[in-house]
Amino acid sequence: MASCFLSQCRLRPLSTGSLPRQASPLPSAGGKFLLPLPLPVSTQRIGLGSPVRLGRHWRVRVSAPARFVAAAAEKEGEDSRRLRGEDGAAGEGEFDPGAPPPFGLAEIRTAIPKHLWVKDAWRSASYVVRDVATVLGLAAAAAHLNSWMVWPLYWLAQGSMFWAIFVLGHDCGHGSFSNNAKLNSVAGHFLHSSILVPYHGWRISHRTHHQNHGHVEKDESWHPLPEKVYRILDSPARFLRFTLPFPLLAFPLYLFLRTPGKKGSHFHPGSDLFLPKEKKEVLTSSACWTAMVGLLGGLTWLLGPVQMFKLYFAPYLIFVMWLDIVTYLHHHGHEEKLPWYRGKEWSYLRGGLTTLDRDYGWVNNIHHDIGTHVIHHLFPQIPHYNLVEATKAARPVLGKYYKEPEKSGPLPFHLFGDLVRSMKQDHFVSDTGDVVYYQKDSELNHPNKSEGDAEE
């Protein structure tokens, strides 16, 4: 079976007038790090944790993981200098999305106003109240009406709300829900366990995704298969991975099996997804997940399997499809090919710039503007309710490296075309090269031809 899918960055001290240099993070309580931010010296609270005045720099608290590859920061500065001509390699001509950008993370960060970094726990909690109340109201109304004219509409609406619940739990995992680590954990477990997601297990793998976005081998979610891995997949596996609707049901399998070429489980503390010190967290989340399974089993016995399918499991399938569609389209399906990186060509910035913003029309508000994805990938500590304004502030810096999303009607039907096109064209990348692009297996959609013919 095909399984694919889901997975902060460590920043360093920067000044507004120079390119970044590597620095070590300062550990703080709650598993976080104190990181420098190039803002003017002030005693005003900026909302990124408790600031400490150190010379000309502010130290800000973000939920940055300890395992980020620090060398990527220095690579970013080298890339910027090279493109600017400081290393004698400035280029002209058509825009190349795989070329090092002429700006660094510091310039993007400085362009985003300070108030947009502020995390408001009360505001975040209000979204939880809104979404949970909507979920309960929809279930009560559908159960009361109990009509087959209503159930399909309920499944679509409730599945979308399950997806919104997931996005709020995702914010808890990034620490953008609040500055309180315990509150983030409690809220995250409540939200994710209710939709059968192991909170810490997925949070940690998603952290790996953000640390390595755009890297062929190290990315965790929806990363491309090198050709040698693609070729050893049997025909049924290729069919399931690239033929709709099967990839849209991949998330539960990913939680248990990860993606082709990777081993481990989001439920097992011994998986290579996790550090030994994270064992207790993984066990806690797996226990919460198991308790939710038990609760659903009890409700199924009480209400009957048909009623529970209508109330919970059908919306759960819609939620899984939402999750797989949205996360896939954040990294695939642009009208022009997007680069993926290996080795020295990869940097945190360049990898983040391969992500895509998407417009979902009315759904933008329902799923908390998660389609505003580029700035989220670069700075996941920004709360979801500030992402749209932060993106507007950063766009002049990003220039052509920002891919303007196609405007949606009330409902994002246009995105299905992007999804279908990508599934037909984006199959594997070359085994060699540090800047690579998806290639197409022209024989994949011709099942009458033998596998040997397809590989010739």
- The per-residue pLDDT for 77 is 45
Which residue, among 117, 26, 20, 103, has the nearest Cα to 64 in the 3D structure?
26
Q: What is the pTM of this model?
A: 0.78
- The per-residue pLDDT for 92 is 54
Residues 300-317 pLDDT 10s: 999 999 999 999 999 999
Domain ranges of the chain: 1-9+120-456, 26-116
**What does DSSP assign to residue 313?**
I
- Whether residue 441 contacts residue 427, with contact meaning beta carbons closer than 8 Å, is answered with yes
Which residue, among 205, 189, 210, has the nearest Cα to 274 in the 3D structure?
205
- The per-residue pLDDT for 73 is 44
Gap between the Cα atoms of 71 and 10, Å rounded: 10
- The per-residue pLDDT for 445 is 64
- The per-residue pLDDT for 444 is 82
**CB under 8 Å to 452, separation ≥6 — which residues?**
none
- The per-residue pLDDT for 230 is 93
Is residue 429 classed as helix, strand or coil in its secondary structure?
strand
- The per-residue pLDDT for 75 is 47
Which residue, among 219, 421, 441, has the nearest Cα to 337 in the 3D structure?
421
- The per-residue pLDDT for 235 is 87
- Whether residue 348 contacts residue 72, with contact meaning beta carbons closer than 8 Å, is answered with yes
The CA–CA distances, whole Å, from 250 to 197, 214, 242, 280, 451 equal 13, 20, 11, 27, 24
pLDDT below 50 — which residues of the chain?
A: 1-91, 449-456
